Amino acid sequence: MNTDSLTPGLKAEILSEALPYLRRFHGKTVVIKYGGNAMTDERLKRSFAHDVVMLKLVGINPVVVHGGGPQIESALSRLGKQGTFIQGMRVTDDDTMSVVEMVLAGQVNKEIVELINTAGGQAVGLTGQDGNLIRARKLLLPDREKPGQTIDIGLVGDIEHCDPAILRTLTGHRFIPVVAPIGSGSDGQTYNINADVVAGKIAEVLQAEKLVLLTNTAGVLDREGRLLTGLSARQVDALFADGTISGGMLPKISSALDAARAGVNAVHIIDGRVDHCLLLELLTDQGVGTMISSS
């Protein structure tokens, strides 16, 4: 969205269109899962940081949870390793976990914090280990081919408990939390947790107004590849049952559905390849993805 090419009248129209949304969401929390192309394309990275800072400045409280799949793959490749996925989840052995921690908590988290700060915000980076935000336990996936059995995918965690106190402290003092999806178990073991799952749980415990998941697709598509702009929980269940939702979208849509059922008013799965997709989805009549409603 190049605002330089807009006429003054059109700019005024856009601002006027945003007014009811600004009024409705003022003081509310929006949890944003940041990933996909928006994390790797320089123009989209700047656009995302701009949107997050603007949301904060107009009185909305953004909380960012990020992934880092491409960066982890690149680091593993340099070590001669290749990532393996089962049901959309990364198989994580000890060596892979070391890389995940280094990339997510070190490289990616710090880069996002710097992007937001450069755009005029006050971001603070943390992992699920900070402030005891996320207590994790080992995740065992149900084996779909052998009912009653499970698949061990290594040091991958599920969320046992989420304490949002540190997030409330930060958002209440002008800061924008940026969370890497790593948590610790009661035994002190560190776990890699799917970022969509972390974003969904944080939205749930904060009773967020919205959960926004950035993707590399236009949103949720039907079997013919057509965008489904609005879905209910029941319709999402049907898409799971007939196999329309599969692969890497499984944890994303599952966490979205759990958040919607737990009280998050709406979940938006949006196209992160679109400039200023956050502002377009949240503050204008023009949606750029799929909305799953709590009803």
Token reading at 65 = 């949870």
Is 192 annotated to bind a ligand? Reply is yes
Please indicate if the annotation marks 90 as binding a ligand.
yes
Residue 88 lies in a domain: yes
- 294 within domain boundaries: no
Asked if the structure places residue 127 within a domain, the reply is: yes
The list of the chain residues with pLDDT below 50 reads 1-6
CB-count burial class (<10 Å; 0-12, 13-18, 19+) for 267: buried
pLDDT for 7: 65
Q: What is the CB-side half-sphere exposure of residue 16 using CA atoms within 13 A?
A: 6
What is the model's pTM? Answer: 0.89
Q: How many domains does the chain have?
A: 1
Are residues 100 and 192 in contact, defined by beta-carbon separation less than 8 angstroms?
yes
Residue 182, strand partner residues: 192
Q: In this structure, what CATH number is given to the domain that contains residue 140?
A: 3.40.1160.10
**pLDDT tens-digit profile of 230-258?**
787 778 878 877 777 776 677 778 888 88
Listed residue (224, 206, 191) closest to 264, CA to CA: 206
Per-residue pLDDT at 247: 65
Domain residue limits at 107: 38-220+269-276
On whether residue 11 sits in a domain, the answer given is: no
68 labelled ligand-binding: yes
DSSP string across the chain: --GGGS-HHHHHHHHHHHHHHHHHHTT-EEEEEE-GGGGT-HHHHHHHHHHHHHHHHTT-EEEEEE--HHHHHHHHHHTT----EETTEE-B-HHHHHHHHIIIIIIIHHHHHHHHHHTT--EEEEETTGGG-EEEEEEEEE-SSSTT-EEEEEEEEEEEEE-THHHHHHHTTT-EEEEESEEE-TTS-EEE--HHHHHHHHHHHTT-SEEEEEESSSS-B-TTS-B--EE-HHHHHHHHHTTSS-TTHHHHHHHHHHHHHTT-SEEEEEETTSTTHHHHHHHSS---EEEEE--
User: If we measure between CA atoms, which residue out of 100, 105, 157 comes closest to residue 126?
Assistant: 105
Residue 170: inside a domain: yes
Exposure of 56 in the CB half-sphere (CA atoms within 13 A) = 26
On whether residue 57 sits in a domain, the answer given is: yes
Cα–Cα dist 162/158, whole Å: 11
pLDDT at residue 222, rounded to an integer: 79
Residue 190 lies in a domain: yes
Residue 27 lies in a domain: no
